[in-house]
Structure 1
Amino acid sequence: MNKNLPEMFPGYDTIEIETADVRFFCRVGGSGPPLLLLHGYPQSHVIWHTTAPYLGKDFTLVLPDLPGYGQSSVPPLGGSHEAYSKRNWARALIEMMQVLGHERFSVAGHDRGGRVAYRMAMDHPEALERVAVLDILPTADYWDRLERSFGLKIYHWMFLAQPAPFPEKFISACPIRFLEHTLASWTAARNLDCFSREALIHNRDWFCDPDRVAAT
């Protein structure tokens, strides 16, 4: 992975934190009570680069890459993929926040990060002040709504749910094309114009790694 990537969070600290199962890469900055921000698929902590200057005025922001994403470590997949369950991620993130000195904090998550956030709220309510989830519904509700038009919009759900290594092999054959098509398909204009050039450089860099494709 390229270590000379564009700086997206000027003035923020870059920290790597070892927990029992994951080495988290994260950025920390701002001032105020702690707020953990969790990104979604297929992105990294960089998604918050335009939000951080506003939230950082009122909160100390902690912006990790989820396990297997960005520059965090890639836990072994294993047969059951248990290392990548939302429950395991929530537990590891609680440990990460404790290492940073935050026994109690707020959390906001987008997409897959939102699912980690509400798993965290169910499993560790004593650690959380507030929870915000963005752009998600309960997983069972999504599956129940899968008729033709909705299924076409979220085709990746069925694709990514296929047994390994089918999705991994297809994505890794042309990872940047898959990444950019996926991101563009979720925008109103169906293109990448709303993403900054620098953010896309970050995303393209780590998404070329076959191990990270499998992890995500």
Structure 2
Amino acid sequence: MARTIPGFQQQRVEVAEGVALSVAVAGAGSPVVLLHGFPQTHLMWRHVAADLAADHTVICPDLRGYGASDKPADTDGQAYSKRTMAADVVAVARALGHDRFALVGHDRGGLVAIRAGLDFPDVVTHLGALDILPMLDSWEVLHGTSAAVAFHLYLMAQPPGLPEAMISASADAFFGYFLDIWANDPDAIPADVRAEYLDACRAAVPSIVADYRASATVDLEHDAADRDAGRKLGMPVAVLQQDWGPGFSEAAVARWSAWASDLDHTFVSAGHFMAEEAPAEVLKAVRGLLAR
């Protein structure tokens, strides 16, 4: 199996017919599920998870399509919807004996966490999201030249074929680019961890693209339906985001407030990979969330 967090036991958990996730588990106490982002695996939580495991059962899956988890073909445009991926997370927790749990997600994992909170409000007790806006809002705020920072969203939204071919032809350069430009502190991701991420992504190009493509198609349909119906996240919600300067702060808080009734929104000085760059800040926020 791929490398896991020291002190955690790695196992495979079936979440649907023919689909199993690789899951790292440690600790005892009330359960907390941690979902990784792009272009990473559950290993991104190595600092935060180890601390939380002192007094919680900590569950760190590789998302469907990522890391050591299964990568089913996306034959119907639904295999990597956040609704499907959220159901995976609930299935993992239940298989491990937990009917309710707190959920924290970074980046892509944050989108899965949001969907889980909306689809399973009686299951998700607390919800944390690191450096992400709900996908519907992300597309709405991207416009003009400022959208260049998110060129990968547009590339992977294209029909199957071209994005997969382009990325596969230069996978290490593509995925490594984001590891470089999104980190304020490059030393936060040491060489051996970086190599682990690149190995995992190189083997998962079609499923990673399918995940992103879903966020330009079916995920937007699900988000729009919830917004039109006035559905909100009713559990305590904590959001940590980079401070991208004047204007963004107010807009980000307003957009998150439209989705969350009980919101604690904080800006941090770390870069995008904040769980690795500033684990103490992330731990403080997560423990504060769990205490609410």
Fold match by TM threshold 0.5: yes
Classify 1:105/1:42 alpha carbon distance in 2 versus 1 (closer, same or farther; 3 Å): same
Output the CA distance in 2 between the equivalents of 1:108 and 1:144: 24
Deviation at 1:8, TM superposition (A): 4.5
Asked whether 1:37 is paired with 2:29, we answer no
Equivalent residue of 1:24, what SS? Answer: strand
Asked whether 1:215 is paired with 2:207, we answer yes
Asked whether 1:204 is paired with 2:198, we answer yes
Deviation at 1:57, TM superposition (A): 1.9
Deviation at 1:12, TM superposition (A): 1.2
Per-residue CA shift, 1:101-146, capped at 9, x if unaligned? 0011110001111111111111111112111111111222222222
Q: Who is 1:123 aligned against?
A: 119
Deviation at 1:72, TM superposition (A): 0.3
Q: Is the 2:103–2:128 contact (alpha carbons within 8 Å) kept by the matching residues of 1? A: yes
Output the CA distance in 2 between the equivalents of 1:103 and 1:144: 35
Q: Who is 1:18 aligned against?
A: 14
Q: Who is 1:111 aligned against?
A: 107
Output the CA distance in 2 between the equivalents of 1:127 and 1:166: 39
Looking at secondary structure, tell me which structure has more helix per residue.
2
Deviation at 1:162, TM superposition (A): 1.3
Output the CA distance in 2 between the equivalents of 1:148 and 1:197: 35
Per-residue CA shift, 1:158-204, capped at 9, x if unaligned? 11111111111111001111111122121236xx4321222112112
1:151 maps to which of 141, 147, 162: 147
Equivalent residue of 2:47, what SS? Answer: coil
Deviation at 1:58, TM superposition (A): 2.6
Output the CA distance in 2 between the equivalents of 1:132 and 1:19: 23
Unaligned runs of at least 5 residues, structure 2: 209-292
Q: What's the TM-score once normalised by structure 2's chain length?
A: 0.67
Deviation at 1:81, TM superposition (A): 2.1
Output the CA distance in 1 between the equivalents of 2:72 and 2:4: 26
Output the CA distance in 2 between the equivalents of 1:138 and 1:14: 30
Q: Who is 2:63 aligned against?
A: 66
1:142 maps to which of 138, 151, 161: 138
Equivalent residue of 1:163, what SS? Answer: coil
Query: Percent same amino acid at aligned positions?
Result: 36
Deviation at 1:68, TM superposition (A): 0.9
Asked whether 1:179 is paired with 2:171, we answer no
Q: What's the TM-score once normalised by structure 1's chain length?
A: 0.90
Q: Once structures 1 and 2 are overlaid, which stretch shifts more, 115-124 or 18-27?
A: 18-27
